[in-house]
Structure 1
């Protein structure tokens, strides 16, 4: 993302470039600036000409630039980025990216397992091809990932949100404002990427308010306190409902039974019990590949720590966000 944008002043730390661009990740090569827009939704500081403020404005952003789908090993880059972010202390992983796939690649699933073992919550966008396709996508379909659909201002399912059995919750993702990499304000951004980013920011707030709360409990509380849509307990577009931050972050006034449903971690536990073998040695941080192109990168991973109740300069609570593609979520996932 564009770390020099006034709206992100002081929010972006030096990060990693997996695309061989020899940058520290604080760049945005995506069209209008998808990475910048997602970072601002999370940690916008209210500066610049827009005055845009994110949901967790005291967050710190740790960017990781990803290789493009067509130019390198996209799955490997995401996996490396997740491990890098976890090794740097994040507590939430937001992946506003997607690629159609009928199985979760082993390398990516191992990275997800590594994050969960380190008490990190993982969030993914459900996808934007809803009107034309409900093909499964990664990382959304991977066990252990909290997958987010999008709703409109009226809390109705957004038509573009991809319906699927692994969609767990929903968040605002249509008729939204967004800030591009040049500081332009876009009043009608739409897509599940933004919904995932807002969910990740919400999780940062929850974890900053409740620093000892395990990631499993955070997700369980988000599900239990969500606002149901319609008369169904669950739907393939909006999951168990729209996230409600106030209830999720306040266990005293909004208690949730210890045995409340937690399908995200149930799916991970099932996968782990049936297939997972712990790696014999800890994963190492990602290193850029010398033969990767340096001119274009359509995805960005962002990690950050929200300082709401606690000052989290050391990323005690964190958000990892992976921004998906060129533009501001006006077209389907590719």
Structure 2
């Protein structure tokens, strides 16, 4: 990710990222002064800031991975200059309900969010899908990018809202740069990012840090990467930001892949190397039938010949992924599904 070098070019300054989640505790040291009031669409208690009351810590950890800033100890996010708009749409018992989340998406774009992070996934009733789709369509008309986690049960069963057309579905990678076994797959996958053994704030001891696995934080890393690129190119549209992300994603093998989409997010390719053609500002690179397939990015040689890899494993540049897994600027939390809780490892 080359975060230290990238931050000399862009930090996400001027970009608001909406965290559609369990709320965000703005009192944690890394987020002080970075969290807007937001809104609570779950219980209607007012603000999306759940100061001292985000018991699951899920939304807080997503905000940390996106925009946390560390003075001495803690979590530094990928885009430490970005602002967080917290939108509460559930808690540890009810998460991923279509109606409050759809309301939250509309609120986000109406209140200045360019990037919308939805680190949640689940099955959706047929009656829920129109609400999801209408909200996503509204966000796209307003020029935003919507990222959502692919899901954590390792299956090819579509999870929502990631499977809604127009949403950028994000899968998780392990330390070795291949698809994490728990990461859901399907034709709707667009991008991937690290999602194994990544630290965040513990649930039980709010002062300590734990390791988590899941597509939640992979989604947060993708959202933060978009914020970095957009802050360096404020004249671009969301379609253009997404297009260069797809073009510069790291992969080995044909793309798009059912397991990692166009590959692992690599904002440094855009910000340090100047790669990627933003193209038509009005064409959505994943949706519009007139848009050409994003060109395959240049890739490093695989650690092993592709034929030696299992069908669902695509090695990326090892050094880059090692930096991703170990750098203080990247932290990935387990995607909170309605029937699955993260395993905390102090």
Q: What residue number does 1:285 align with?
A: none
Contact 1:144–1:265, Cα closer than 8 Å, also in 2: yes
Q: What residue number does 2:88 align with?
A: 65
- After TM superposition, the structure 1 = structure 2 runs for residues 1-334 of structure 1, keeping only pairs within 5 Å, are 1-27=24-50, 31-47=55-71, 50-67=73-90, 74-101=97-124, 105-130=129-154, 133-180=155-202, 182-186=206-210, 188-229=211-252, 231-249=253-271, 253-256=274-277, 258=279, 264-266=286-288, 324=336, 330=342
Contact 1:126–1:148, Cα closer than 8 Å, also in 2: yes
1:80/1:32 Cα in 2 relative to 1: closer, same or farther (>3 Å)? Answer: closer
Give the Cα separation in 2 of the matches to 1:192 and 1:53.
19
SS of equivalent residue, structure 1 residue 266 = coil
What runs of 5+ residues in structure 1 fail to find an aligned partner?
Answer: 270-322
1:201/1:3 Cα in 2 relative to 1: closer, same or farther (>3 Å)? Answer: same
1:47: Cα distance to partner? 4.3
Contact 2:93–2:338, Cα closer than 8 Å, also in 1: no
**What CA deviation, in whole Å up to 9, does each residue of 1:275-322 have, x standing for no partner?**
xxxxxxxxxxxxxxxxxxxxxxxxxxxxxxxxxxxxxxxxxxxxxxxx
**What CA deviation, in whole Å up to 9, does each residue of 1:171-200 have, x standing for no partner?**
1111212123613211x3111010000100
1:65: Cα distance to partner? 1.0
What runs of 5+ residues in structure 2 fail to find an aligned partner?
Answer: 1-23, 292-334
1:56/1:210 Cα in 2 relative to 1: closer, same or farther (>3 Å)? Answer: same
**What CA deviation, in whole Å up to 9, does each residue of 1:238-282 have, x standing for no partner?**
1111111012346x83142738x965233799xxxxxxxxxxxxx
Task: Give TM-score, length-normalised by structure 1.
Answer: 0.73
1:328/1:63 Cα in 2 relative to 1: closer, same or farther (>3 Å)? Answer: farther
1:328: Cα distance to partner? 9.8
1:45: Cα distance to partner? 1.3
Q: What residue number does 1:275 align with?
A: none
